[in-house]
Amino acid sequence: MASWRWVCRLVCVLATIAPVASFIDGLYCGKDNCYDVLGVSRETARSEISKAYRQLARKYHPDKNKSPDAEEKFQKIATAYEILRDEEQRRDYDYMLDNPEETYRHYYRYYRRQYAPKVDVRIVITVTITIISVIQYFSWWTRYNSAIKYLVTVPKYRLKALEIAKEDGLLDKSKKRGRRSKEEIREEEEATIRMIIENNMDIRGGYSKPKVTDVLWVQLIVWPYYLIQYIIWYARWIWKFNIKRESYGTEEKHYIIRKYMGLSEGRYEALDESQKDEYMKKQLWIKEKFVAFKTEQEEAMKAKLAENSKYKSYRRYMKSRGPGRMTFED
């Protein structure tokens, strides 16, 4: 009977301690109940909590209340209000009151709210995508301008541009515009040549003229449209060439060759037309012929390297002193 009496006493003590254990020092209002600090209940609306805070703040503000503990009470009131006015923090606090045993979880939820960025994630994503899009666009323009500047210095394209300018009378008109210095005439001539090259040169691949539709923002917006287009195109491909066994058209042949070569659409389009015509003549859309072509290209490259003096010296070096051999000279 004595042992049972001790068990009952222990249960009573634990029952007394349990409600206190739900308050953790250092979290929220510490050992105080935030609702009790403001004199409200858990069912009180947010507007009533704000009203209670204003009344208590006026009463215990250190400028108006000169009692020794006024400042401490005011700090507790302000802390309780900061927690209960925020819906997410109030939800976490209520969870702590209902689940006092989850101590580590309470620490995590509290400090996550305290130190997490207050900026909306959607704003962060929007700003990030915008910055990436701007960097993309201006970097593409830089590459395009560098390509144009290079083409202006190439004699072949420069002479051709001068011929077109003379035929159109662009250079003659510029020289008749009053008295101009040689430097001004030369600058205008360079601008004319650049304009003609830009209008007539078909630059493809990584140095092509940038388009706003290619930046990340636009691509994300039109992505569903492209996805639907691809699904329709792929279904059509399966129906025409896998089920109905129709012959490939010119566009489909180029697509298969490009895929076999592992080239992007931009890089394949940048190839010379004569080179693409050669691929078509060799029927490289047929897997067996492409494999034979690739093997032939690899053998030709090996033979070319074998005749190269630098490659021969490199092979001799790798054979005598390369990886796998150790010499005292090392």
pLDDT band (50, 70, 90) for residue 225: very high
* Phi and psi at residue 65, to the nearest 5°: -105, 115
How far is it, in rounded angstroms, from Cα 52 to Cα 34?
12
The least confident of 114-123, 188-197, 263-272 is 114-123
Rg (CA), the chain: 39
pLDDT at residue 330, rounded to an integer: 39
pLDDT band (50, 70, 90) for residue 54: very high
How far is it, in rounded angstroms, from Cα 154 to Cα 82?
69
Which residue pairs from 150-156 have beta carbons closer than 8 angstroms and sit at least 24 positions apart in sequence?
151/197, 151/201, 152/190, 152/193, 152/194, 152/197
Question: What are the DSSP calls for 132-153, one per residue?
Answer: HHHHHHHHHHHHHHHHHHHHHH
For residues 96-121, average pLDDT: 76
Q: What contacts 289, CB < 8 A, 6 or more positions away?
A: 282, 283
Mean confidence (pLDDT) of the chain: 80
For residue 184, give the DSSP letter: H
Which tokens sit at 293? 């072509």
pLDDT at residue 174, rounded to an integer: 46
The larger pLDDT score, comparing residue 324 to residue 198, is at 198
For residues 7-15, average pLDDT: 43
Instruction: Give CA 279 to chain center in angstroms.
Output: 37
Question: Residue 1: pLDDT above 60?
Answer: no
Instruction: Give CA 303 to chain center in angstroms.
Output: 44
Question: Residue 177: pLDDT above 70?
Answer: no
pLDDT at residue 326, rounded to an integer: 43
pLDDT tens digits, one per residue of 267-317: 788 788 888 999 999 999 999 999 999 999 888 888 877 777 776 666 666
Start-to-end C-alpha separation, the chain: 89
Question: Residue 17: pLDDT above 70?
Answer: no
CB 97 within 8 A of CB 19: no
pLDDT at residue 237, rounded to an integer: 92
Closest by CA position to 174, among listed 159, 160, 186: 186
Question: What are the DSSP calls for 256-304, one per residue?
Answer: HHHHHHT--HHHHHTS-HHHHHHHHHTTTTSHHHHHHHHHHHHHHHHHH
pLDDT at residue 169, rounded to an integer: 77
Q: Is 117 helix (H, G, I), strand (E, B) or coil?
A: coil
